[in-house]
Structure formats: C-alpha cells, structure tokens
Chain A
C-alpha cells in the first residue's frame, strides 16, 4: 500500500530532552511538510522540503529542526528550545508536478512533561 507513515503514534518525553519524530512516504513525492496541530486551531507549518537536501522554515520553526537526506524520509526533531512542545504533529507530502494536493500521515501525539 502506498502512503505516509509516522511513528510512533504516541510519544512521551521529559522536559529538556530532544525527541525525533519519524515520517516516511512511498508515494514517490518530492515535497514533504511538517505541521503542528493544537486543540481548536488549524494546522500550522513548521518546515517543508521541496527536494532532497533542501528545506525551508515555515511559520513556527523555532525550536524544531529537520533533515532531508532521502526522498522518502523527513524526520522532525523537537528540541528542548521549543517552549510548548506538547501537540499533535502531522507530516504531509505532495508531488512536485502537482504541488497543491498534500496528503497527510496519521500523526504523532507528543506529550512533554
């Protein structure tokens, strides 16, 4: 089955620790995105990557870092500098030739205490 996988589904960390969220896609999509979702709010863009070895900051990049070493993978690291890391994190991807249609993974719920 083609799709986007995110792991784990639930993640718990202590304050002050960095944590990396996984995102893998087998859709052969060039572009990948990370969003954050908080209760009662829309999705907000953290980082996006249109091609391997290149990525750009979104609207709320502070406290996060990403890498794009392979087309299929776009991991997100939530660093200790992120002041409110508890949230639902969503990864998405799209085709470069049809960039507008973004398809989402199932999400990772991160809880930091």
Chain B
C-alpha cells in the first residue's frame, strides 16, 4: 500500500547550522506535500507545503524541495534556533483529488544552544 518514509528519526544540530529532513513517498499520483511542526503535548502546526507542479518553495528560513521523478521531498531549515526544536512530520496525499494524507513517522529535531 501507499506509505511515506521519513529520515532521520532524530536530528541534533548546533544553533545557527542547517537541518534537512527527507521523505520518500510511494504513490506517484500524490500531488500535495505538507510539513507540520509539533511541539510537546500540542497539535501539529502547518509550516510549509508544496504542490506537485512546483519544485521548490521558500518561506524565510524554511524551504521545501520536491523531486517528482525520484518521489522524494525535503524540508530545509537554515540558521536554526532553539525554538525550532520540535517533532516534524511530512505527509503526502493518498492520490490526486482526495483529502486524505499519509504521514511520515516524524523527526525529532534538537537545536543545541
């Protein structure tokens, strides 16, 4: 069945360094790829997303890239800060036209001051 693999499961970086989280999806018909940030005990917060007709999208220190041929997409955080520490989830739509997501298993990011 469809699945989304996310790596790494944990990531520690020094404050000011960059962090990269990668996801691979299996359904070639997936057309929307959001990224969520979840702080401890809270609901996930949508931080950036990308659609299948776009290769890259940036929002200040956060960027997402998509490689449709290889079926993978990545989250890039530059100039990391302690408040970036959280669990990050990627997701992909099941198939084109549906509202359902498949989520990755999450990456716990720790930014060391």
Note whether A and B form a binding pair.
Answer: yes
Residues of the B chain whose Cβ atoms lie less than 8 Å from the Cβ of A33: 99
From DSSP, what is the main secondary structure of chain A's interface residues?
strand
| B103 adjacent to A43 (CB under 8 Å) | yes
* Interface stretch of the complex, out of B39-47, B63-71, B76-84: B39-47
Q: How far is the CA of A107 from the CA of B32 in the complex (A)?
A: 24
Number of interface residues of B (CB under 8 A): 25
| Contact residues of B between 75 and 109, Cβ < 8 Å to A | 89, 91, 93, 99-106
B43 touching A41, Cβ below 8 Å: no
A100 lies within 8 A of B45 (CB):
no
Chain A residues within an 8 Å CB radius of B4: 42
Q: Is the interface of B mostly helix, strand, loop or mixed?
A: strand
Please name all residues of chain B whose beta carbon is closer than 8 Å to the beta carbon of A58 when the two chains form the complex. 100
Contact B34 A105 (CB under 8 A): no
Closest Cβ–Cβ distance, residue B46 to chain A (whole Å): 6
| Complex-state Cα separation, A43 to B6, whole angstroms | 13
Contact B99 A99 (CB under 8 A): yes
> In the bound complex, what is the Cα–Cα distance between A106 and B103 (angstroms)?
18
Q: Among residues 58 to 113 in chain A, which have CB atoms less than 8 Å away from a CB atom of chain B?
A: 58, 90, 94, 99-107, 109
Which residues from chain A contact B101 at a C-beta distance below 8 Å?
A: 43, 45, 102
Q: Is the pair A90, B93 in contact by a Cβ cutoff of 8 Å?
A: no
Given A41-B105, A42-B89, A42-B105, the answer on whether A104 and B43 have CB atoms closer than 8 Å is yes
- A48 and B100 contact, Cβ closer than 8 Å, known pairs A41-B105, A100-B93, A102-B34: yes
Chain A contact residues, CB within 8 Å of chain B = 4, 6, 31, 33, 40-45, 48, 50, 58, 90, 94, 99-107, 109
Q: A42-B4, A42-B6, A42-B102 are in contact. List 19 more A-B contacts (CB 8 A).
A: A4-B43, A6-B43, A31-B99, A40-B9, A43-B44, A43-B89, A43-B91, A43-B103, A45-B101, A48-B100, A50-B99, A100-B34, A102-B46, A104-B36, A104-B43, A104-B46, A106-B43, A107-B41, A109-B41
